[in-house]
Amino acid sequence: MLRCPRCGGALEAARFLVRCHACGPYPLLGDVPVLVTDPFGYCAKYRDSILAAMAEHGVADREAVAAVEAFAGDERGTRESFGDDWTKYEATGDDAPAPVKGPGAPPLTKLMQVARADGPAQWLDGKIRKATLALEIGCGAGARSEVLAARVERLLVSDLSLRAVFRARARASRQSAEVMGVVLDAEVLPLKRRCLDLLCAEHVVDLLDEPAAFLEQARGALAKGGRLLVTTPDPSLGAGFDDTLERLATEAKFTVVERRDGLPWLRVNSSRFVEVYLVQALELKAG
């Protein structure tokens, strides 16, 4: 189902790369294709983070490192790290600690209970039903990947971070689905048209430069009747109007099946540091 992100052409796999006959090669690192429009720039920009992630997951042998170096070239400009953003509890799945005792503990504890019973994670889990092929955009550390992989036949986990894809793929592989990983840009999905039954984008659309482009790409990748599940703590997408995401979805010719708003999402970094967001969730159907 994967295609060239530049021309939409078919891809052929070799040992450390996949190739489009029209546009050239893309890296294949630890069996994860890096399908971004500028694979050479990606490897040059994230070279150190790529090699660190490969070492962490035991796939940084001499040939693999040489492949990264070949794509990165001789550029020695400023290196950037992957924008990985997860708490240690999100990464491990362990229970987060209770807030420290004090006047703020009772209301925060109550809000945490509400979030566990009726938060965006519970909404998403209730919407994930059997599907032949599902894609997760922005898989992060893989908490939702594991749930998806228990309910679908084939799962493609994706992120702009190679480290996140490695983590999510490993976590999801504990379940019954066939799990694959790909590095991609959500605004340029390298997918065959109409191949997906389900697409899940949890807390990612507000981070994109062009969310409208993502919605257009998602609609093109979903089969007729396929569903897009999207959650965000900023449905205004920086514009100041809470109906912005829903309006862009209808402009992209999605049908809004359900909208939920104000769902509490708590990110517990420690017993003294808790981030609180009120999330909007949309279930969208492709025509």
Residue 202: which residues within 8 A CB-CB, separation 6 or more? 120, 124, 136, 138, 140, 144, 229, 230, 231
How high is the pLDDT of residue 231?
A: 98
Residues of the chain with CATH 3.40.50.150: 88-286
For domain 88-286, give the CATH number.
3.40.50.150
How high is the pLDDT of residue 204?
A: 97
How high is the pLDDT of residue 249?
A: 98
How high is the pLDDT of residue 239?
A: 87
How high is the pLDDT of residue 79?
A: 83
How high is the pLDDT of residue 1?
A: 92
Write out the two tokens for 225.
Answer: 């009747």
Residues 223 and 219: their CA atoms lie apart, in Å, by 8
pLDDT in single tens digits along all 287 residues of the chain = 999 999 999 999 988 999 999 999 999 999 999 999 999 999 999 999 999 999 999 999 999 999 999 999 976 666 899 999 999 999 998 999 999 999 999 999 999 999 999 999 999 999 998 899 999 999 999 999 999 999 999 999 999 999 999 999 999 999 999 999 999 999 999 999 999 999 999 999 999 999 999 999 999 999 999 999 999 999 999 888 999 999 999 999 999 999 999 999 999 999 999 999 999 999 999 99
